[in-house]
Structure 1
Amino acid sequence: MRLKDLAETTGTSPASIKYYLREGLLRPGRRINATLAEYDDSHVARLHLITALRQIVGSPIEEIRSLVAMLDAPEVDLYSAFGRAQLLGLGLPGDHRPAVDEEPEQVTRLVEARGWVEAVEIRALLAEQVRTMNDLGIETSAQTLEVYADAADRIARMEVGVITAATSPDEAVMRVAVGVHSYSRLLLRMLGVAQAGVARSAT
């Protein structure tokens, strides 16, 4: 397909496509002659990823560039790209380093008991959150964390099924970033509704 067709297929303006090409977010199409290039389904998938990251997640161009560079690098595995996509979905820069010197004991026990030992960066974020809550005197007992972990495990298993059904790496990474972004907000809002309901019934 030509650039005009690519724009119509993806709902992206030709000007935006040319911008993504200049910025290195979208690889060039196959040259037909000096002025024309041909694009394929991989360009469609990449544009869907870029659009979702910009319009739904709100990621800056620099972070999107880093993520797609990982996808295009042959030495980087898809699992690593998923980790970067998770950070973007949470609204964190890819170079975010949690300020936790020592992991809280209840986090260590929880993740090791459940076998959640792979997600190094996200685990550090969890440790940072629990440490902050501990410092504020907010209850984070093993029992409380288990309740949240049970809910998180059920949600994660559902989401992974959606991700593995993706037809391309770009689509899979998009589902990770958009899923983390959307489901985290869904969970927070649903928790708020539940809290209001429980509080009303208790008064």
Structure 2
Amino acid sequence: MPRIRWTPNTHRGRDVSPQVAALGAFYQAERAENVTLLNINIALLGAALAYAAASVAFLDKIASLPRTAAALVPSPLWLAMLYSTLLVALAGKRGTSAMLVENELFRHTGIDANLRKRVGSRAGEYVVNPKAAPWPYRLIFLLVYTVPWIVSGFYTWHLLDHFVKSGKLLFASATGYTLMLLVAGAAYLRDFRNTPIP
């Protein structure tokens, strides 16, 4: 197991301990917010799954609803997925911010550069960052972020096909859900392009 070696907190002959302490506090705040975002996202996805399971259990009751109400049954699921997309993007930005602070902390503390990829948030980037992770993790990443949308899409299509069936309401509902899917896809693509390579 490699050992972490520290150098004195000096830069060009002056003490930088206050700067290191300030960066440390900033870093802790960034990491705490990232953990909060992760917990919110997990709770949100859990609520979305519970709603989907409950609506599936009451599929036989949907036929008694007005067509407009039946078309809106999947909408809470889609809104939860869209909000989850925002949380994922925000967590990514916060992760990048934490990594920048870490870089400054490493520069001031003098930890061996060879250990940089094995300490701190950069170590986790080689699991969750699709640009840096090995292919098994990339595959898991792809499944985690695409399967829920695929399932939501097929579930929505089933509801519209069986309970809305035809007419302007079907066209409007299908268009609205398709636009939400395109917006989410564009957001994920933009976030992927802006993801830094550690």
TM-score by length of 1: 0.31
| Richer in helix (by share) | 2
Q: Which has the higher contact order (CA 8 A, sep 6+)?
A: 2
TM-score by length of 2: 0.31
Structure with bigger gyration radius: 2
